[in-house]
Structure 1
Amino acid sequence: MACTAPKTSSAPPGQSRPRLYVLDGLRFAAALLVVAYHYITLRDGWGEDPKAISSSVYRLSEYGWLGVEIFFLISGFVICMSGWGRSLGDFVASRVSRLYPAYWAAVLLTAAVLTAFPDVRSAGGWQNILTNLTMLQEGVGVPDLDDVYWTLFVELKFYLLFAIVIFRGVTYRRCVLFCGLWTVAGIFSQGSHNELLASWAVSQYSPYFIAGIAFYLMHRFGPNALLWCIVAVSFLLAQHYVHGRLVTNLGAKADLVEEWPARLVILVTFALMGALALGVFDRLQWRWLAAAGNLTYPLYLIHMYVGFTLIALLRHHVPAELLFPAVTAFMLAISWVIHRYVERPIGRKLRQAMIRSMKEMRANSTDQHDRPHTPDPTEVGIRSHAERTGRPKVHIP
């Protein structure tokens, strides 16, 4: 969700690869899929079956949850790219400054709306709101203020796992090893009944992150049989979990919904990422896609319960066919405001502050044995006296 398309990629010395604008467009499309799924398929804001918007649109929106899987696939690509050649401290500074400013704004906005209009959902009290500001609420058993935040906790797990690679130094071999070990962990977690392993293996979603890493390695170094095997295994495992994801998102209606459209969307997304990795879209330089991509993260964070509340307030006054696009457009406008006046300026300052902090930490963490030793004048005098007299050196406590 919080990934930015790379401006340049690996290229021969003296040359730079063009920005991958297609990633921005793919992220924006994924966000719109999630918005459509929430606003059209779910009843929270409408108070009744929202099929009245359009039966055909309703059927399509039932697969909008796949936007999350697309986000995870892109995240694997971009995080591998952004971690290359960086120290762990720089990576942490980059992720913190990217994730938190817009998230803080979204939490405060959502809390304010749900406090003022609690009909759709309650904010849950100040303790709940404050804990949600950490983005770690799921880890301490506190409910998400907005249901979409669960994906951020999955992203954080991926960042922490991949941070091990960054700490050692990101290399082709270590990335491949990481993909292999995480795949094995995801497989064994299914039957292990080990909650800790299952929690960190996130087997339903790890195939997307892993495939994203493999696609980036293709993009950087070129395709080969090993990378295609990683992608193929990840694709097949992703297909394995489709039914479970349908049940999670549609509940009892999952048995009434065809699975093949979901499987087709996953196939098309993998194909698009493969084409991107091979440079097929390098010449596609539509700058407006970058502007759309900038709205993705704020839109994802604020759209759900703020949008549900607006729908609940206006559903008896505005036809559903107009209300859905109007609320979506309003959410896009707020997303632009958050990006322009919160995410960019605060993110820049937070990143600078984090980098300074990392530098200070490194400077003040130098091993004492590595520092030049400046002898104490008294000690020098005693040592000289010992050398002259041959007596043992006097110990100064």
Structure 2
Amino acid sequence: MKPATAGAAAPRAGAHTVVPAPRKAAPARLRALDGLRLIAALMVAAYHLGGRSGEISAAWGSSPAVQFPSMSQLFAYGCLGVHIFFVISGFVICMSGWGRSLRAFTASRIARLMPAYWAAVVLVTLVFALPWVIFEAVSPSDMLVNLTMLQEPVGSDRVLGVCWTLWVEMRFYLLFALFVVIPGATRQRVVFFCAGWTMAGVLAQASGWEPLKLAVMPEYAPFFIGGVGLYLVHRFGHDATAWAIVISSWLLGQHYAVAGLWRPAADAGFAYRSSLGIIAVVTVGYVLVAAIALGRFQWANWRWLTVAGALTYPFYLVHEHLGWVAVRFLHRHFGLPSWAVLPLTVIGLLILAWLLHRLVEQPLTPRLRKAFGR
């Protein structure tokens, strides 16, 4: 109802008035999605710390294949946790950006990403500068550029190995803001966004035009689009159009994942992966997000999953570089066996992630959201 204007007659006492419909309650948090986030982060950590079996690790002192002869090939598929992250991101950004203004959307992204990121950049730089740490720190100039999160496009050395995925995420946010948030989210507009982005990605790949490929990211776009399509299913129910978006994105996504990660056994690089194994992991990721979208995991409503979701981002940021330092310290200085070093390292990094969440994210996130949301 619109408020009465100054010249409008006031309703007579006792006259029938229209009572506004009660506002719908905010949707319940999908805690299973938080748990899946952490699983994806642990997959990536397994890859970085134990799955690069084709190289000699300065942390372990040998190839991870020597340290984990039966598990290193399985850990090699952990890099696909990034692709699962992108599917989750498509779902979550569509959900959180629906009905928001551009200012509110931008403020939420800055407040969510930057506090832990700044802390991780500073922390890793300081640790790598210690004289007994053999890993080389980036230059002061490159470290300062890293604080902008734009080091990837400007060509500076990265402080955090995983920050290339944040550059991918930023381009997704920009596209979603331009084509959905600014004009206003509707089902039809989101469907057109998914269809248009899919075709732009195909055309970019076919033409080989680098500026278009840089903008629309054909190798990663299907995963975000699949997550957006699954949110449409979650919000509006079963629909042939939404499922067509999901299925086509899965078909294209597995193609790009295999093209980017499969290598013959004789040319393994970091690790050997079979094409069927890559397809299977991508498929499981899609299926799990779809099951959460359809409410199949409503029973997984434990509060600790929310904590797990909160730890995921800071853990993801610090796990690789600080994980190397921890592995070298525990394995080569204390002589602990590799089967004990890996879980101890992960547990220690999760504790560090909790500290970053409590001491950095919780104080700064609401302040940044308020500052940029004004």
TM-score bucket (shorter structure): 0.7 to 0.9
Per the alignment, do residues 81 and 256 of structure 1 end up closer, same or farther by CA in structure 2, a change over 3 Å counting? closer
1:226-251 CA deviation, whole Å, 9 max, x = no partner? 11111111010011112233159x99
Deviation by residue 1:185-230 (Cα, 9 ceiling, x = unmatched): 1111112121110111111111010010011111111121111111
Return the offset for 1:119: 5.2
Q: How does 1:66-215 map to 2 (within 5 A)?
A: 66-117=80-131, 120-164=134-178, 165-215=180-230
Which stretch shifts more, 285-294 or 119-128? 119-128
CA RMSD of aligned residues (A): 1.9
Q: Deviations over 1:51-102 (max 9, x none)?
A: 2333222121010001100100000000001111110000000000000000
Q: Which moved more, 1:13-22 or 1:304-313?
A: 13-22
Query: Distance in 2 between the 1:284 and 1:311 partners?
Result: 33
Are the counterparts in 2 of residues 24 and 289 from structure 1 also a CA contact under 8 Å?
yes
Higher alpha-carbon Rg: 1
Q: Which of the residues 4, 23, 28 maps onto 1:18?
A: 28
Task: Pick which of 91-100 and 49-58 moved more.
Answer: 49-58
1:45 and 1:120 in contact (8 A); partners too: no
Aligned twin of 1:313: 329
Q: Within 5 A, what are the aligned runs for 1:349-388? A: 349-356=367-374
Deviations 1:97-141 (A, max 9, x none): 000000000000010111115755322211010000000111211
TM-score, structure 1 as length reference: 0.83
The code of the aligned residue for 1:236 comes to: L
- The whole-number CA distance in structure 1 between the counterparts of 2:66 and 2:282 is 28
Structure 2: which amino acid aligns with 1:345? P
Q: Residue 300 of structure 1: which of 306, 316, 327 is its match? A: 316
- The code of the aligned residue for 2:314 comes to P
Give the total of aligned pairs.
344
2:34 counterpart letter in structure 1: D
Separation in 1 of the partners of 2:77 and 2:260? 10
**Aligned residue identity for 1:66:** L
- What displacement does 1:16 show? 4.9
Counterpart mapping for 1:11-50 below 5 A: 14-42=24-52, 43-50=57-64
Which residue of structure 2 aligns with residue 344 of structure 1? 362
Structure 1 CA distance, aligned partners of 2:75 and 2:122?
Answer: 28
Correspondence list, 1:43-58, <5 A? 43-58=57-72
Query: Does structure 2 conserve the Cα–Cα contact (< 8 Å) formed by 1:41 and 1:62?
Result: yes
Amino acid paired to 2:362: R
Matched-pair contact (CA < 8 Å) for 1:40–1:50 = yes
Structure 1 residue 257: Cα displacement:
3.0
- Whole-Å Cα distance in 2 between the matches of residues 334 and 70 of structure 1? 24
Letter in 1 for 2:104: D
Q: Residue 40 of structure 1 contacts residue 61 of structure 1 at CA under 8 Å; is this kept in 2?
A: yes
Letter in 2 for 1:350: L
Identity of aligned residues (%): 45
C-alpha distance in 2 between matches for 1:14 and 1:87: 20
Structure-2 separation of matches of 1:33 and 1:26:
10
Letter in 1 for 2:33: L
Distance (whole Å) between structure 2 residues aligned to residue 92 and residue 15 of structure 1: 24
What residue is the counterpart of 2:260 in the other structure? 245
- Name the CA distance, whole Å, in 1 between partners of 2:327 and 2:299: 41
Contact 2:262/2:275 (CA < 8 Å) preserved in 1?
A: no
Asked whether the 8 Å contact 1:276–1:282 carries over to 2, the reply is yes
Give the whole-Å Cα distance in 1 for the aligned partners of 2:298 and 2:369: 29
1:55 partner letter: P
Contact 1:52–1:320, Cα closer than 8 Å, also in 2 = no
Q: What is residue 347 of structure 2 aligned with on the other side?
A: 329
SS at the partner of 2:148? coil
Please state how far the C-alpha of 1:310 moved relative to its aligned partner.
2.1
Shift of 1:265: 1.4
Q: 1:44 to 1:231 in 2, by over 3 A?
A: farther
Q: Which amino acid in 2 is paired with 1:50?
A: P
Unaligned segments of structure 2, at least 5 residues: 1-21
User: How far apart are the structure 1 equivalents of 2:331 and 2:291?
Assistant: 42
Task: Name the structure 2 match of 1:264.
Answer: 280
Q: Does the C-alpha gap of structure 1 residues 120 and 237 become closer, same or farther in structure 2, counting only changes over 3 Å?
A: farther
Deviation (angstroms), 1:260: 1.4
Change (3 A) 1:329 1:185: same
For residues 17 and 353 of structure 1, the distance between their equivalents in structure 2, rounded to whole angstroms, comes to 26
Aligned residue in 1 for 2:18: none
After TM superposition, the structure 1 stretch with the greater mean CA deviation from structure 2, 282-291 or 333-342, is 282-291
Partner Cα separation in structure 1 for residue 85 and residue 130 of structure 2: 32
Q: Contact 1:31–1:300 at 8 Å: present in 2 too? A: yes
